Structure 1
Amino acid sequence: MARTKANSRGYSLRKVNTREVKQRFLIVCEGAKTEPNYFRSFRVPKNVAEIDVQGLGENPSKLVQSAKELNKQEEYDQVWCVFDRNSWTIEDFNNAIKNAEAQGFKVAYSNEAFELWYVLHFEFLNTGIPRSDYLRKLTSLFGRTYEKNSETIYDELFEKQGIAIKNAENLLKQYAPHIPAKDNPSTTVHLLVQELNKFIL
Structure 2
Amino acid sequence: MSRINRTKLLDRQHDRRDAKLFIIATEGEATEKQYFGLFQSTKIKVEVLATGDDHKSAPQYVLARLNDFKEMYDLNDDDMLWLVFDVDRWTSQNLSSVCREAKQKNYYLAISNPCFEVWLCLHFSDLNPQDTSCKNFKARLRMLLGSYNSSKLDLSLYDEPKIADAVARAKQLHPTATQNWPPTPGTHVYRLVEILLQSLNK
Give a deviation string over 1:83-126, Cα, whole Å, max 9, x none: 00111122122222221111100011101010000111122227
CA contact (8 A) 2:40 2:46 kept: no
Q: Which has the higher strand share?
A: 1
Which of 24, 27, 30 is residue 27 of structure 2 equivalent to? 30
TM-score, structure 2 as length reference = 0.79
> What is the distance in 2 between the residues matched to 1:176 and 1:126?
23
Give a deviation string over 1:136-178, Cα, whole Å, max 9, x none: 1111111x1211122433x3121311111111100003x7984
Counterpart for residue 4 of structure 1? none
> What is the distance in 1 between the residues matched to 2:123 and 2:19?
30
CA distance 1:40–1:177, shift in 2 (3 Å) = closer
CA contact (8 A) 1:44 1:196 kept: no
Counterpart for residue 194 of structure 2? 194
Do residues 131 (structure 1) and 128 (structure 2) align?
no
Counterpart for residue 122 of structure 1? 124
> What is the distance in 2 between the residues matched to 1:190 and 1:180?
12
Which of 54, 61, 81 is residue 49 of structure 2 equivalent to? 54
The 5 A counterparts of 1:85-96 are 85-96=87-98
CA contact (8 A) 1:60 1:93 kept: yes
| Number of aligned residues | 179
> What is the distance in 1 between the residues matched to 2:106 and 2:46?
18
CA distance 1:25–1:102, shift in 2 (3 Å) = same
CA distance 1:152–1:145, shift in 2 (3 Å) = closer
Give a deviation string over 1:168-199, Cα, whole Å, max 9, x none: 100003x7984626x12121101111111123
Report the 3-state secondary structure (helix = DSSP H, G, I; strand = E; otherwise coil) of the residue aligned with 1:199.
helix
Structure 1 gap segments, 5+ residues each: 1-17
Counterpart for residue 163 of structure 1? 165
> What is the distance in 2 between the residues matched to 1:21 and 1:145?
40
Counterpart residue identity of residue 196, structure 2: L
> Share of identical aligned residues, percent?
25
> What is the distance in 1 between the residues matched to 2:49 and 2:118?
21
Instruction: Spell out structure 1 runs of 4+ moving beyond 3 A.
Output: 175-179
CA distance 1:31–1:49, shift in 2 (3 Å) = same
CA contact (8 A) 1:109 1:187 kept: yes
CA distance 1:19–1:75, shift in 2 (3 Å) = closer
> What is the distance in 1 between the residues matched to 2:196 and 2:44?
9
Counterpart residue identity of residue 191, structure 2: L
CA contact (8 A) 1:44 1:199 kept: no
User: For the aligned residues, what is the CA RMSD?
Assistant: 2.4
The 5 A counterparts of 1:102-117 are 102-117=104-119
Report the 3-state secondary structure (helix = DSSP H, G, I; strand = E; otherwise coil) of the residue aligned with 1:104.
coil
> What is the distance in 1 between the residues matched to 2:67 and 2:177?
30
